[in-house]
Chains A and B, each alone.
Chain A
Amino acid sequence: METKKIITEEEFKKMTPQEVATYKLALEKLSLDVDSLIERCDKLLEKYKKDVK
């Protein structure tokens, strides 16, 4: 699957350390949010799939 880069290496080089840190943590946070949503989907599927005859 082709995925686009969020920032390029060139862009990275122009970033200050503080920006790098902020960016890195923002990625971590979004990733955790996606994990929570996946978990929620799994719960719903588990809860309602048993209803399907």
Chain B
Amino acid sequence: MPIEFQELENKYKSSSRKFQDLKTKAKEIVEKYASLKSYEAQLEAYSDESLDAVSSLLTEEQLQKFQEKREKILAEIEKLRNEDLATKKEELTQARTEMDEYVKQAETNPEFKEAVYNGIMEKATKDMHDYRKKQEVPQASMLFIERLKEKAKTDNSLAKTLQFINQEKSDIATYKATIELMKADGQNTDDLEKSMAKKNDLLKKSGNTLKGYIKAHKDQLGLTDEDIDFTNRDSKAFFINEFISPDSKKTLDDFENDFKAQADDYDKKIKHHKKIFKYAEKDLEDLKNPEQEEVQVKVWKQIIQGIANLFKKCANYVNTGNFELPDSTPEVQVVNTTGDWKDAYKTKIGDAKMKEIRRNYEKRIKNAERHNTRNDGR
């Protein structure tokens, strides 16, 4: 029985609670992402570059502690990757395999299959649209950073501001890590904290200078007033808040790389869903055209007919003496000389010819697949 879309829609809405377990999985994955971000920030503070900057303030023992902490964080990331995420991946792969198995079992019902394929195509289209939309912010932010960096090449004051912000943030991150470590050792950190407070003030001033610069040069940077709403998470310039924050050590290059990674990630997801769409489309097409196989049989019959005609001609030439087969001609053993094409493929030449055509077909199929892969990759 055909299923009304509205009916499906209603059932879908009422049964969304069935996906609670998936929501939990998604939540767990988001949590893993947050842990990873936190590890990343800590690693920045314990990088060799940061340690070099404060090495004169620290004892050999303290430096050693820094390095131990970094190794501990890296071990945690390895655990996250090799245990937590690998388990999640395994669970999801298993669920996908089982789901495929279930779908296979339900394949006895073509209406069900058709609706599944249509559902997949519809959802994949929506997901692709959503990913394209989400991709817009990182792509636009990347372009903005590119223009800002380009501008800094000719505008000395901007170059200096950017450089100063990077330096102050790097120093502040290192001060913070050092203060934390010295406090743990019971040492007095007053002087360091005063120095850090001064750096915080200077950073704040430079941050405001940069924001003012962006506003004043918005046209040259290709921005609108809406784009430079520093409080709007979806604006192209929202990341500037993080860039000028003492809590972030990220440089403009880091932001650019992050935005590129985000845009690439969306790109990967879009391509993946495009493939899903194509597979579903093909399966649906095959489902609607069960005679596809018969068409191929017809093509084969035509090919065999052609070969049979050739043999009939050969036999005719031999019988009438109008044509002599050269000595080198392979043994021609036409099983049925009455011209019945059905037997033609049973001869050695017929068999060889069929194999040759089949090889050509296989080559064409492979080429088409390669071509499709390239197109999918675009």
Contacts of B32 on A, CB cut-off 8 Å? 37
Contacts of B98 on A, CB cut-off 8 Å? 5-7, 9
Q: In whole angstroms, what is the CA distance A44 to B81 when docked?
A: 11
Q: In whole angstroms, what is the CA distance A50 to B278 when docked?
A: 42
Q: C-beta contact mask, A19-50 vs B, less than 8 Å → 1, else 0? A: 11111111111111111111011101101110
A-B pairs with the 4 shortest C-beta distances?
Answer: A21-B119, A17-B115, A41-B81, A6-B95
Whether A7 contacts B87 by the Cβ 8 Å rule is no
- Besides the known contacts A3-B91, A6-B91, A35-B89, 19 further A-B residue pairs in the complex with CB atoms under 8 A apart: A5-B95, A7-B98, A7-B99, A9-B98, A12-B99, A15-B15, A17-B3, A20-B99, A22-B12, A22-B119, A26-B19, A27-B99, A30-B22, A31-B89, A31-B93, A41-B36, A41-B80, A42-B81, A48-B74
- 30 interchain pairs (CB within 8 A)? A3-B91, A5-B98, A6-B92, A6-B98, A7-B99, A11-B18, A15-B18, A16-B12, A17-B116, A18-B11, A18-B119, A21-B120, A21-B122, A21-B123, A25-B123, A27-B96, A28-B273, A29-B269, A30-B29, A34-B29, A34-B92, A37-B81, A40-B261, A41-B81, A41-B85, A45-B74, A45-B77, A48-B74, A51-B47, A51-B70
Whether B11 contacts A16 by the Cβ 8 Å rule is yes
Q: In whole angstroms, what is the CA distance A16 to B11 when docked?
A: 7
Known: A17-B8, A26-B22. A32 touches B120 (CB 8 A): no
Q: In whole angstroms, what is the CA distance A40 to B9 when docked?
A: 37
Contacts of A36 on B, CB cut-off 8 Å? 265, 268
Q: In whole angstroms, what is the CA distance A36 to B81 when docked?
A: 11
Q: A41's closest neighbor in chain B, by CB?
A: B81
Question: A18, A34, A45: which contacts B89 (Cβ < 8 A)?
Answer: A34
Q: In whole angstroms, what is the CA distance A31 to B86 when docked?
A: 11
How many CB-defined contacts (below 8 Å) exist between A and B?
A: 164
Contacts of A42 on B, CB cut-off 8 Å? 81
* Residues on B facing A (Cβ under 8 Å): 3, 8-9, 11-12, 15, 18-19, 21-22, 25-26, 29, 32-33, 36, 39-40, 43, 47-48, 67, 70-71, 74, 77-78, 80-81, 85-96, 98-99, 102-103, 105, 112, 115-116, 118-120, 122-124, 127, 261, 265, 268-269, 272-273, 276
Q: In whole angstroms, what is the CA distance A2 to B345 when docked?
A: 54
Minimum C-beta distance from B285 to chain A (A) = 17
Whether B15 contacts A44 by the Cβ 8 Å rule is no
Contacts of B95 on A, CB cut-off 8 Å? 5-7, 27
Q: In whole angstroms, what is the CA distance A39 to B95 when docked?
A: 22
Contacts of B33 on A, CB cut-off 8 Å? 33, 37
Q: In whole angstroms, what is the CA distance A30 to B81 when docked?
A: 15
Question: B8, B81, B118, B120: which contacts A25 (Cβ < 8 A)?
Answer: B120
Q: B93's closest neighbor in chain A, by CB?
A: A31
Q: B22's closest neighbor in chain A, by CB?
A: A26
Contacts of A5 on B, CB cut-off 8 Å? 94-95, 98
Q: A22's closest neighbor in chain B, by CB?
A: B123
Q: A53's closest neighbor in chain B, by CB?
A: B67
Known: A17-B8, A34-B85. A48 touches B120 (CB 8 A): no
Whether A17 contacts B91 by the Cβ 8 Å rule is no
Q: A32's closest neighbor in chain B, by CB?
A: B269
Whether B272 contacts A28 by the Cβ 8 Å rule is yes
Contacts of B122 on A, CB cut-off 8 Å? 21
Contacts of B273 on A, CB cut-off 8 Å? 25, 28
Q: In whole angstroms, what is the CA distance A27 to B81 when docked?
A: 19
Minimum C-beta distance from A42 to chain B (A) = 7
Q: A24's closest neighbor in chain B, by CB?
A: B99
Q: B35's closest neighbor in chain A, by CB?
A: A37
Whether A27 contacts B119 by the Cβ 8 Å rule is no
Q: In whole angstroms, what is the CA distance A47 to B221 when docked?
A: 32
Question: A3, A15, A52: which contacts B94 (Cβ < 8 A)?
Answer: A3
